[in-house]
């Protein structure tokens, strides 16, 4: 794992040893999203497989091999920022991903780059660099529009002055 541990991880051994429920979700995102460090939203399925037994059934999942997530889709929608390098795959560990009162203690989200995003995964914000580029371009355009009117008026004034001089002569 090493550098891949980018999540809200403070005490890895403590979290690994925790007897609480731990689900696992594997999703794909386009590599370009990761390069942009994009924010994504994941609508987690109503059930995720148990990370402790990989679906085989254990004490952590009451032998079901899976954990339920909140029934309401909005309540099981997570937002997170992609790490820039997904080349080797990255696993984020989310602690209490659905809040203190939801049954799931931890959710491991395995991210990998692919040609398309998994169902339920969408990009929610443009990368900051793009937004900055767009806003500064717009700013320059607005400035240009503001500048052009006085410049034209000044040119007209000069012409009028010259005409006035010519006519007055």
CB of 22 to Zn ion, least distance (A): 8
- How many angstroms separate the CA atoms of 115 and 127, rounded? 19
Q: How far is the CB of 33 from Zn ion (least distance, A)?
A: 31
Q: Which is closer to Zn ion, CB of 61 or CB of 92? A: 61
CB of 114 to Zn ion, least distance (A): 27
CA gap 70, 45 in Å, rounded: 9
Task: Count other C-beta atoms under 10 Å from residue 42's C-beta.
Answer: 22
DSSP E strands: which ranges in the chain? 22-30, 39-43, 47-50, 66-68, 77-81, 90-95, 106-114, 121-125
Q: Which is nearer to Zn ion, 30 or 97 (CB)?
A: 97
Report the nearest approach of Zn ion to the CB of residue 20 (Å). Answer: 12
3-state secondary structure of 57: coil
By beta-carbon proximity to Zn ion, the closer residue of 28 and 94 is 94
Nearer to Zn ion, 67 or 76 (CB): 67
**Residues interacting with Zn ion, by CB under 5 A?**
50, 52-53, 58, 60-61
- Phi, psi for residue 28 in degrees, rounded to 5: -110, 145
């Amino acid at each position: 794992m090493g550098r891949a541990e980018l999540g809200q991880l403070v005490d890895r051994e403590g979290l690994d040893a925790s007897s609480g429920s731990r689900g696992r979700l594997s999703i794909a995102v386009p590599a370009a999203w990761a390069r942009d460090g994009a924010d994504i939203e994941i609508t987690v399925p109503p059930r995720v497989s148990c990370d402790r037994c990989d679906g085989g059934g254990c004490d952590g999942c009451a032998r079901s091999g899976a954990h339920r997530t909140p029934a309401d889709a909005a309540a099981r929608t997570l937002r997170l920022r992609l790490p820039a390098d997904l080349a080797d795959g990255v696993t984020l560990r989310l602690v209490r991903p659905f809040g203190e009162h939801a049954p799931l203690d931890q959710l491991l989200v395995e991210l990998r780059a692919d040609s398309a995003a998994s169902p339920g995964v969408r990009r929610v914000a443009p990368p900051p660099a793009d937004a900055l580029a767009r806003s500064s371009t717009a700013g320059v355009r607005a400035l240009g529009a503001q500048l052009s009117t006085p410049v034209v008026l000044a040119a007209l004034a000069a012409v009028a002055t010259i005409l006035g001089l010519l006519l007055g002569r």
